[in-house]
Amino acid sequence: MSDKELRRYSRVVVDGVEHAPSRAMLRAVGFKEDDFARPQVGIASTWSMVTPCNMHIDELARQAASGADIAGAKAVIFNTITVSDGISMGTPGMRYSLVSREVIADSIETVAGAQGFDGLVTIGGCDKNMPACVMAMARLNRPSVFVYGGTIKPGIKRRDIVSVFEAVGAFAGGKISAAELDEVEKTAIPGPGSCGGMYTANTMASAIEALGLSLANSSAQEAVSPNKIADCQRAGAAVVNLLKENIRPSDILTKEAFENAITVVIALGGSTNAVLHLLAIAYEAGVDLTLEDFSRIGARVPVLADVKPSGQYLMSELIGIGGIQPLMKRLLQKGLLHGECLTVTGRTVADNLADVEDYPPGQDIVRSFSNPVKPDSHLVILRGNLAPEGAVAKISGKEGLVFKGVARIFHAEEEALQAILDGKIKAGDVVVVRYEGPKGGPGMREMLSPTSAIMGKGLGKDVALITDGRFSGGSHGFVVGHVAPEAAVGGPIALLEDGDSIVIDAAKKTIDVDIPATELERRRKAWVRPESNVIRGLLAKYRAEVQSASSGAVTVAPDW
């Protein structure tokens, strides 16, 4: 490939007499004379001290930049924002979490588009900045590699952030003392890295690797480790190779690649948020992905990894036996992966896995196909008169497959949480948390606090929770989220009343309220949308543009 082709975007910014002012400014930030003849690689860093997930990413960005520079490019590091789900959980601030996905994608697109970067390395470490990085890569369609910031090391007694949330419920239920809660709080988070189970961060890292946008095992490395440093350096070099080969995200993000990602997420027992984020990434890539694809693939793919939150093991322990590459090889050999899909290595999935060794004998973290954790997907797409557009349930099987109960209605997460902590929720109740959807929140908050309180109270098998909001990857129990249409647009969940009988059947994939259609219609005619105190700013703009959870809660600007 010629020099001009390698520098397809940056030469427009720096070549020629007329761009002397641009070169003058770039000299001030460290460009040398020969740097102007090199392709420019933007290094999108999500470094921030607002969360342990991202506190180390500044160093990772420097390593990626070094890899790109050594390979013959000129790397330029820039930052974008992040917010912490774990810190904002259960507060009004959590409304900004999903919104931040769009802000981050927009900001990466903005900088790369304005500066004329020829390629990108994006580095994410927390739930929303990871899909956001990939959404921006898909939009820009320039040679790109995603790097995962890595998982956190386990806390004392194998604790993690979910241990703290569940300890709050245990304390409220009188199962532990205040001193014991304090001890859990102080020992659960030992340093940098993303939450340690197969929660949303580790799930999305695995999904992105399965998509082909990360190097091998980028998803399965601890945040503070020599492997993660080397991963970043290789990523910088890999982008330069992608530039030379002219391999772009559009060459990688095919329908088959998304099917690979869904397959890996299911086999790992991953987060419900993967449904939302993969739909959004597919939208940006122009790939037709729907909820039906999750159902279709879920019918033939088993859950194989016995990992938290529903299972026993942490991500660090999965890393210890080889990460997700041996799992992917098993899936490929079983005919469950598309081996022909291209990846950022410049090789196919099958090529990348050819020399991967199987897990060591005797390990029980990843089970065999003959002894799965669950024979089909734990991510169950439900439909019925309560969710005509679909809902996403996370059913491990440990809770049972059918739940029949009585609705207990709450118009905000905080109200539901307080009722659970106060002992007002009993066995047989279906906690309904509504007006928390993409538009209703606005922002579609996660319900980790109430689901953890239910588990901490020992009610995980006896109480269900449904919401038009969503769940943390750390949530488990009989939970159903993403109910669509949401309450704020008059969806059936808005019409429920205390005492209504609700039936959730994961086997039949249905979710219904047991009342006549005529009664639902009567309530629909009487329904009035509650007023919102969000009238300006980012949340108001988001509410105006965001679409249904069933399409990934993407934002679409109205036609001008």
Alpha-helix runs per DSSP H in 94-142? 95-115, 129-140
**Cα three-residue angle 91-96-98, rounded to 5 degrees:** 115
Dist. CA 75–CA 20, nearest whole Å: 20
Q: Any idea which residue has 């049972």 for tokens?
A: 400
- Residues 6+ away with beta carbon under 8 Å from 418: none
Q: Are 273 and 471 in contact (CB under 8 A)?
A: yes
Dist. CA 15–CA 37, nearest whole Å: 9
Catalytic residues: 472
Dist. CA 512–CA 306, nearest whole Å: 31
Q: What is the DSSP string of 53-89?
A: TTTTHHHHHHHHHHHHHHTT-EEEEEE-----HHHHT
SS (H, E, C) 159-180: CCHHHHHHHHHHHHCCCCCHHH
Q: Are 168 and 332 in contact (CB under 8 A)?
A: no
Dist. CA 31–CA 542, nearest whole Å: 38
Copy the structure tokens of residue 14: 């720096």
Q: What are the Cα distances from residue 129, in Å, to 83, 126, 146, 428?
A: 8, 6, 11, 37
Tell me the Cα Rg of the chain: 23
Dist. CA 46–CA 101, nearest whole Å: 12
Phi, psi of 472 (to 5 degrees): -65, 155
Q: What is the DSSP string of 377-390?
A: -SEEEEEETTEEEE
Nearest to 64 by CA among 309, 285, 236, 312: 236
Copy the structure tokens of residue 43: 């290094």
Helix or strand (DSSP H, E) at 240: helix 226-245
